[in-house]
Amino acid sequence: MRLKTLLRKKRTYTYALACLGFITLLSFSSRDNPPGENPPKRLTGQRSLSYLTQNAISNPDPIRFRLFCNKRSVRPGELLELTVTAELLDVSPNLLFFLPGASSYKLKLLLPPNFVQTEGDPADNLVADLSRPANQRVNYRIVGYFTSTASTGAFRLLRSHKQADDQSLYVEKAAIRLKQSSERLTVAEKAGVAQSDAETLFIVADAPTHAARAAAYRGWLEFANCNTIGGWAADPANLRQSVNLDVYFNDRLVATIPANQGRGDVAAAFGADGFDRYGFRWDIPESLKTNRVIKVAVKIAGTSVELSQSPLTTPVCTGTDTPPEPPVVDPPVTDPPPANASYRGHLDGADCDGIGGWLANVNDSRKPQQVDIFVNGVKATTISTDWSRPDVANALGVSGFDKFGFRWIIPASYRNNAPLTISVRAANANFQLSESPKTTASCPGSGTTATCNFTVSASPVEASCGGNVRLSATCSGNDCSDQIAYNWTGNGISQSGQSITLTAPATNGSYQYTVSASRPGCAPKTATATVNVSNCPTVPPVEPPPPTGDYPILSSPPPADKRPFLQNERVRVAIDLGVGGVIREITDLQVGENMINCKIEGNGQRDPGRDDQISLYGFPSDGSGWTQNGKPLLADIGYNPVQGGSVAGEYSPVLGYGRTNSMLYCKTRGLHWGMSNELGDYVVEQWIRLEGNVVKRHVRITGNRPDQTQFNDVRQQELPCIYTNSAYYQYYVVQGTPYTNAPLIDVNAIPNPGNGGVSLSQHNGSPQTGPYDIDASEPWIMAVRPNTNRGLALHTPFSHEFKVAAFGPLGSGPAESANAGYISNGMSLRLDHNGVYEFDINVVVGTVGEMRNTINSLPRSETKPNYVFAGNATRHGFYYRKAYDQGFPVGNELVITPTDRRFRLLSPRKGYKAADFGVIYVRMRTNIPETQMKLDWRKVGQKEAEAETTGQFVTFSVINDNQYHTYAIPVRNSPHWNGIINDFGIRYLNPNETRTNGQQFGVRWISATDLGDK
């Protein structure tokens, strides 16, 4: 200690002598920045803190140390960033003497006890040697958060010599004190902070932890181009306050902006009343455009929480540098209008300053709409109806929602001393608002009208199979300029740019791509480029030729990569023998993109629960804690053999494989999903072939389960489940009259009562939404890519019982990513211990119109009941609640034993046309104490509770002699027998939990016509 004291005295004495003649030279303000420089990492809208606790007079250090904080006030759990700057002063040694080694240092930043550092430089070991001019300034960065509002301690920056240890002398060079505050400082409060608080960081009370708040934020980066970025963000824990966002360009922080623009759709999604300031739009400064693409990332300010769909990459943004080759970038897309939209709207007014009006979809009246605005016949913009219009809400009888209004300020560029004709339509639709168009008076201004003197052309290109193709558009004319925007479409692509790069189709032939060139104020000009593809290999012949019979048992050696495929001129399908024989690829060769999600985990292993596969469900059910052979339970899902494998990442064994030129065959015994390496008792065989744009699959399921317990209920199956590439996330069904080209139903917009009314349109990139049950009047469901309206359709004539879901951010990521869509047939089916079940499953590819035309040529499901059980092995899709029967095979009748009075005999879910029949005939015997029973029904799209409350049933008398009688049940006598019936059933009049010991039914057939004594 005595040696340290002597050293300190010697240094102070020397410094004091040396600085007597230079007081003025070294008197720096503790809050001045170096000439021509700004503090590092200073964020927009935040006052930075920078402090020196000793000036140069009392301590003539050749290095100036400064401490910055990027925030003036902070909540516990909110990230903040501290910056330490060390700068070697530009002072000649002839003017001032410094001790040898004074240009080197070791720093320690003492942290408050309630501060946790999460990233950056080590706060207790900041070391450097400074020199001029090569290394005159060094910055250090410390990021972290407070765990509580305690204001004890401070950030203290201490300096010593480079070789200092814990016993060495340190001198404090800067500090930031802490002070507790009841609320975050406003701008006005910051300006009025007392001088004594100028070196203070305020900790705001009553905030959740960093981890909890970070997990709570929700948001979406909706678009990013060379002019503007936009989207929304919200904190569900504080829905009445806008949040701030950090904007990063190519991983560099360029701005902090508020998300404080009106977004009525977001407010409605979160159920926020009276506040909708969640949106953001930010115009990109010209200084940030450098003839390069920009990777735009947006995060919640001060955190690492990134918005869904972030980052996005722009096209090449024109600047001063030499432009590189433009990348392939998908443009922002707008969803098509709902197929069942019924619009009403009015253009209230239009003058030289702006326009206003309202629009509503009366079939979806609690959702904001979008309008396309045209000026002089050319589309100018698309905006949302995010203005309150309670008058419209009252007129439509809508309560709790009034975002029907829109307003738009006409840009000055349109005002050029001439009248303007304004028309407004529903976005992407032909519906034009009432009183549209309107013509303004002459609008004074200096805007110029484009002469539109330009044409566009494109040359043909020769390409090799699957190779890269570069298409370029040539503009000719006086008005060719950077104002012209180019968009390419055709064969499933949609890309922006005068030149684009794409992958050639995988089939020989000629393919047309159309480029549209648009300039503000001008009608688009188009041209077509032809790509001639050659050198595509044909599928090699396979020996031996296919055996006879529709579904032969084939045997072939598997290919080396275990991914055999079939391909015709239109579609390619591949299975994965390494993952239970699941279908891992379905590619429309007109597009060249795999539409199946074949997820690869972070460790490089395939996820056995994705792809297109068969998953079976029996009893015991989920939540029962059931396991088998003493295996640990990894997922409490009950009896569930899965074609792909188990949740432990193991793959189901393939028992057989074969292939011909036109067929793939695979036989698999599924593992139980919820246990490790535990085989189920059902074997799945599949025969796959191609026919035009259809992947046809015949599936046979054979049971051999030792447990022969008679369970009195059923579970929904996945026959199959198809996880789609996340770009294919828009789902459609029809619920109108079957096979009449009924309008498409936007499945994503249907609220799900079982999940608080949340629909898939509110998914917002969460880890999982759904699965939700969806009915259809025809046996198919589509998953399409919204910007191209192309995709695939699952066609299952045996059942109209579908399910949909979404996983992670949609529209982004390759087929192998974790993000995915999901469709399945969820048929309710009892798995008999020895049952044999056969199904025909089709997957159709193409445009929406093409898929519908193809589906109409495939086998249709019945629109009237005609089910005969006598002499058949199966139940034809009928099933029971609170009952069981004799099992497989059926034989001469269904022998049904109810277990209590909640018993129901239910039909398969189809699209029965009520108008085509008014009587349901049932050939049945009964051994029950009842004299009457009930036949009830549910319509397509109707929930069970709604059917119960609307009185959709008729009663009929029964004869309890245990003899067969034909009962003619007059459903037409009910005023509710109309529309499309999804299912019907027979039950007791007064259902309750009373046991029904000794009671029994026998059923030989159920039909819309009298089949006699069969």
pLDDT value at position 753? 65
Q: Are residues 157 and 236 in the same domain?
A: no
Q: Is 16 helix (H, G, I), strand (E, B) or coil?
A: helix
pLDDT value at position 886? 92
> 31: Cβ–Cβ under 8 A, 6 or more apart, which residues?
50, 51
The pTM of this model reads 0.52
In angstroms, the CA 1011 to CA 1014 distance is 7
pLDDT value at position 864? 97
pLDDT value at position 50? 34
pLDDT value at position 320? 52
pLDDT value at position 92? 61
Q: Are residues 306 and 348 in the same domain?
A: no
pLDDT value at position 506? 63
Q: Are residues 687 and 767 in the same domain?
A: yes
Q: Are residues 738 and 770 in the same domain?
A: yes
**DSSP states of 259-321:** E-EE-HHHHHHHT--S--EEEEEEEPPGGG--SB--EEEEEETTS--BPBT--EE--PBP-SS
Q: Are residues 349 and 432 in the same domain?
A: yes
CATH number at residue 159: 2.60.40
Q: How many domains does the chain have?
A: 6
Judge whether 1013 lies within some domain.
no
Q: Are residues 746 and 830 in the same domain?
A: yes
Judge whether 52 lies within some domain.
no
Q: Are residues 175 and 83 in the same domain?
A: yes
CATH number at residue 528: 2.60.40.10
Judge whether 686 lies within some domain.
yes
In angstroms, the CA 889 to CA 894 distance is 10
Judge whether 11 lies within some domain.
no
pLDDT value at position 124? 79
As given in the structure block, the two tokens for residue 398 are 């809508």
pLDDT value at position 99? 66
As given in the structure block, the two tokens for residue 363 are 């079939």
Judge whether 224 lies within some domain.
yes
C-alpha distances out from residue 417 to 356, 445, 451, Å = 22, 6, 16
CATH number at residue 711: 2.70.98
Q: Is 825 helix (H, G, I), strand (E, B) or coil?
A: strand
Task: Give the chain's residues under pLDDT 70.
Answer: 1-60, 77, 91-100, 182-198, 205-216, 320-340, 446-451, 466, 492, 506-507, 521, 536-549, 753-756
From the number of C-beta atoms within 10 Å of its C-beta (0-12, 13-18, 19+), residue 600 rates as middle
Could you read off the pLDDT of 438-480 as tens digits, one per residue?
A: 998 888 876 655 557 788 999 999 988 767 888 999 998 877 8
DSSP 8-state secondary structure symbol assigned to residue 391: H
pLDDT value at position 451? 57
pLDDT value at position 114? 83
Q: Are residues 168 and 248 in the same domain?
A: no
The neighbouring-strand residues paired with 672 are 641
Q: Are residues 827 and 943 in the same domain?
A: no
pLDDT value at position 339? 59
pLDDT value at position 9? 33
As given in the structure block, the two tokens for residue 59 are 């301590």
pLDDT value at position 652? 96
Task: Output the 3-class SS for 633-669.
Answer: CCCCCCECEECCECCCCCECCEEEEEECCCCEEEEEE
Judge whether 211 lies within some domain.
no
Q: Are residues 67 and 152 in the same domain?
A: yes
Question: What is the spatial order of strands in the sheet that 277-283 belongs to?
Answer: 218-224, 228-234, 277-283, 261-262
Q: Are residues 161 and 270 in the same domain?
A: no
Q: Are residues 594 and 648 in the same domain?
A: yes
From the number of C-beta atoms within 10 Å of its C-beta (0-12, 13-18, 19+), residue 313 rates as middle
For 241, the domain range is 218-317
> 706: Cβ–Cβ under 8 A, 6 or more apart, which residues?
681, 833
Task: Output the 3-class SS for 868-904.
Answer: ECCCECCCCCCEEECEECCCCCCECCEEEEECECCCE
Residue 767 φ then ψ, to 5° = -55, -40
Q: Is 398 helix (H, G, I), strand (E, B) or coil?
A: coil
Judge whether 20 lies within some domain.
no
- Residue 563 · residue 598 · CB < 8 Å: no
Judge whether 943 lies within some domain.
yes
Q: Considering 421, 443, 465, which residue would you say is the last residue of a domain?
A: 443
The neighbouring-strand residues paired with 897 are 884
In angstroms, the CA 633 to CA 620 distance is 14
